[in-house]
Structure 1
């Protein structure tokens, strides 16, 4: 009752007005009546009173006004959230001016100096912003040496922390690119004890790799040694040793092999789990790990590595045909999926990892690796180390149908380009003449014959397989090759690879002849015979095809090889033109030596060339580079060809135009070729 009596009915003071349909209005007390107003009513009255001094607050009505209001609100929030927001806006305006192509050097240097002056004392905060960090990168790229040193000194204590930040990492890499030798040495020294942890970091690993690429041999070794042992990670003086191989470091410093293995496993396993093995420093560490790993550990690492090799990631593809150029004549940059195995071929250590995984992987793992090469065979073939990886696949993988489908078919589509290329010709030469020291350097042969010592049986070592600790033995064996027969014997020994059950000659026959690849090579040589003869690299493929390949691999294609001999003789039979810019094949440096080798190696070719191009013209060709071609007929061991050319060459010898060969020309020629 108290509550009901105390609350008066508010509507009692407002008279009811049913007429006119108007809303009932509340009757306000007269001014000076003495009755106090309620708080809500007094507030409403005050708000209705016009105030000339206060601005009226208008709500945005048009879309443009709403956009401007939202922009103002966003700017206000950013100012509260970012302490240097106004500075960042000023730097952005300066950046837009300094990065223009039509900005002169003097004006650009003034803008850079102005921007650096504004950032002075605030560089650390600026480096962490995704907008202003780009301004700082541009300033470091174009500023003077004194200005760059000032920025480096200001950021020097914080470089390690900046290496872990998403946007600042690009600034650190730019500083390292433009750093002096002393500054780079100081940064690499600051990395001591943090290499393993940074490699596990998604962002920081790029900085370690960048420093590894920029450093000299001693600095690279110091960064790498931290991944070997806890002692090397703690004590900086131990890393300054002259030994480079892990086995030598263990023996020189007296480290325990088991503790080194455990530490390396603790470093490598997180990298394998994350798939963070794109970097050359990781490849170098893995190669050294395999030299001391036991059988179980090495097998586990290879099993973890093999699936990662075929994983694809999106990267910018710079190698695109000219048909995809844009209208403004700029090359279109698109992102393509490239497997890790292809990306690893940028270094020799990456090649070694790929070779070891192919050799010691199971048949199933090899199949996955070969399938992962699909659509990337051409790129591998034209690469220095990628071509060696293809050679390993062609000489190790037993599934020739799969290799033919993936590798051979892709090579066949660009056969002329491969024959004329320095690296592209090597997979073709591997099938024609495997592991020939004329086409592969000792370092290349050492990479192709790497094995993991703990995964190789004693029988493999007796057969001539070279492990990771016996590269010097392989190099010394290469110097013993003095003729073609010895080279072929060495190639047979080197082909006995672990994990391969098929006979090497059968594998070559299936990949080269049965697949139709040999016919395509011969046809390409016939069509481009003049160009290949004068080419420094194409002539080697032409020579191997014309002699039938090693071990008589092309004996079933004698008719097509005869057609190639006819094509070479036809080019040689063309008349010599004094005013022509193109040299005759007998006078060209490369072609004259190739034809000479063919005469000495193939009596069939020597007969064809004599009958079609040399007969009754020897006196004309007995001078200059062409003299080597004529003299080759005097060094032949085939009696039939010797008897055929004797009547024409003997008068030239009697007159002193040609010199009679020495007592043992075959040995002399073999020594020259070796």
Structure 2
């Protein structure tokens, strides 16, 4: 009994100490009890509303004081989610004078972001306005930066611009009227307002450097600032940022459009050592980066620019090979593969993608600029014995490295074994790839041997087996209720292109599928495939099919596209 009494006294003492230390301890306990009830999934809507109203009534007038508590903050978040608009507005108004303080609180930050998600246009505009003069300091804070990024994502174009402006120069931070210019690009703002470019560079450096040193680089607002910074930075300032980012930091940035651009600029203008750090920083993350909309473009740039193919094979190619089957079907992940098979093809890369790959830092393109260190110092020095002026050498390095592009592609595709793995993956999934909107393009490039027939003659036997595999799938008879490959929208077009561009495949397919059966396929989508044999520029393929197809044309059973005429037999 004495022991039980002692434990009871000890518990009472602990409760008394908590009450003395926390002025709202009793209130928090009551709120926690209400929260346990209101957050249940199976609670009726009316009952939850009553509990939410009761909790808000208890907190009224004390919300700013208890918003930083890990218990009360959770209650407030749930209340903000389920309360009425009027109740939410009341919470917003009570917290409004304390936003900047709460924005840096580990627990309250979640409440702030929840309120912003449900804020009216006027409330969001008011909140963004309250951040004026504090954006840079908040971005240097691990928690505060989350609030700035959230507001930046929710804001419209002019609100985003207002957040960015004070990061550009002291004048734009101090004088609100100056920040109302319509120009979006930093170079245009400097020109319009006659700002001193060197002063802007110094201010931006002072803003950006502490943020990068703390490693707070995940936010898109910083990525936008860095992209604009590169457009005006002098050679030494730009090179310093590239050097700082050439580590694991860059991997955390390339998930946004501007972050992807920064990654590409660092790859193109970085030295061999910096490129090596960037690629090593991707180790273990390559497949995830490949599947990302913007990260895949950074991989595409690496495969197009980096001359140290041994390093690229060791890290990038090695991590891509085990997941090739997944990558070739994915809209984003196929880009690096297609870039190797058919570089800078407008069929696979949009104008924005091509523009992104072509981007550069102006100050590092000028004569005597911060030239990327020659990769002759890397393991492949023997391939880089080219003598040029500093400017010419730098431009070539930025355009795509010093190594011959075809040689680089051969080393990454053929010598690494990637092409062989691609052919095997295509053989195993030929039917699915033919029907896939994105996979069919990879299959087409692999089956044709890539641009400049890069896979020939090294992998002729493997390619023949792929042609046989595709032809075998196409030769399957029609079946009730199942769409045939020659009648499917995607596969019929891919097979037609293969007939026109790959004579060896056209011959294999003729022998397996069409010989003696052309009349069966002379209607519908399949007719376009059959007619390709009369449109081919290869005389052997034309001779193979002409005898059987000419009578079908004469009888009107088969029609060629309007602009196509039968080729004359040579």
Conserved 8 A contact 1:169-1:203:
yes
Q: C-alpha offsets along residues 259-316 of structure 1, whole Å, 9 cap, x if unaligned? A: 1111111111211222222211111000000000111111111112223xx1xxxxxx
CA-based RMSD: 1.9
Change (3 A) 1:661 1:72: closer
Selected match of 1:409 from 310, 318, 321:
318
Matches within 5 A, 1:357-372: 357-372=266-281
Structure 1 match to 2:445:
544
Conserved 8 A contact 2:116-2:124:
yes
Structure 2 match to 1:24:
none
Matches within 5 A, 1:163-202: 163-202=103-142
Selected match of 1:607 from 473, 495, 507:
507
Structure 2: distance between partners of 1:202 and 1:343: 15
Conserved 8 A contact 1:456-1:498:
no
**Given the alignment of the two structures, is residue 557 of structure 1 paired with residue 464 of structure 2, yes or no?**
no
Q: C-alpha offsets along residues 202-228 of structure 1, whole Å, 9 cap, x if unaligned? A: 321111111011111211111011100
Q: C-alpha offsets along residues 573-618 of structure 1, whole Å, 9 cap, x if unaligned? A: 21112x142x111111111000100111112221221122111111
Structure 2 match to 1:439:
348
Structure 1: distance between partners of 2:508 and 2:396: 35
**Given the alignment of the two structures, is residue 235 of structure 1 paired with residue 171 of structure 2, yes or no?**
no
Deviation of the 1:658 alpha carbon: 2.2
Deviation of the 1:664 alpha carbon: 6.2
Structure 1: distance between partners of 2:560 and 2:409: 41
**Given the alignment of the two structures, is residue 533 of structure 1 paired with residue 434 of structure 2, yes or no?**
yes
Structure 2 match to 1:507:
408
Structure 2: distance between partners of 1:572 and 1:284: 49
Deviation of the 1:164 alpha carbon: 2.2
Q: C-alpha offsets along residues 127-162 of structure 1, whole Å, 9 cap, x if unaligned? A: 122221211111111111110011111111221222
Matches within 5 A, 1:637-648: 637-648=537-548
Structure 2 match to 1:280:
220
Q: C-alpha offsets along residues 431-490 of structure 1, whole Å, 9 cap, x if unaligned? A: 111111111111111122221111114699xxxxxxxxxxxxxxxxxxxxxxxxxxxxxx
Structure 2: distance between partners of 1:650 and 1:167: 78
Matches within 5 A, 1:66-85: 66-85=6-25
Structure 2: distance between partners of 1:633 and 1:546: 18
**Given the alignment of the two structures, is residue 624 of structure 1 paired with residue 565 of structure 2, yes or no?**
no
Q: Which moved more, 1:134-143 or 1:122-131?
A: 122-131
SS for the counterpart of 1:202 is coil
Structure 2 match to 1:6:
none
Deviation of the 1:662 alpha carbon: 4.9
Structure 1 match to 2:379:
none
Unaligned runs of 5+ in 1: 1-59, 311-339, 461-493, 667-674
The structure with the largest helix share of the pair is 2
SS for the counterpart of 1:346 is coil
SS for the counterpart of 1:345 is coil
Deviation of the 1:495 alpha carbon: 8.3
SS for the counterpart of 1:227 is helix
Deviation of the 1:369 alpha carbon: 1.5
Deviation of the 1:639 alpha carbon: 2.1
Structure exhibiting the larger radius of gyration computed from Cα positions: 1
Deviation of the 1:498 alpha carbon: 5.5
Deviation of the 1:660 alpha carbon: 4.4
Structure 2: distance between partners of 1:499 and 1:383: 23
SS for the counterpart of 2:253 is helix
Structure 1: distance between partners of 2:311 and 2:449: 26
Selected match of 2:200 from 251, 254, 260:
260
Change (3 A) 1:459 1:539: farther
Structure 2: distance between partners of 1:73 and 1:213: 48
Structure 1 match to 2:470:
568
Deviation of the 1:663 alpha carbon: 5.8
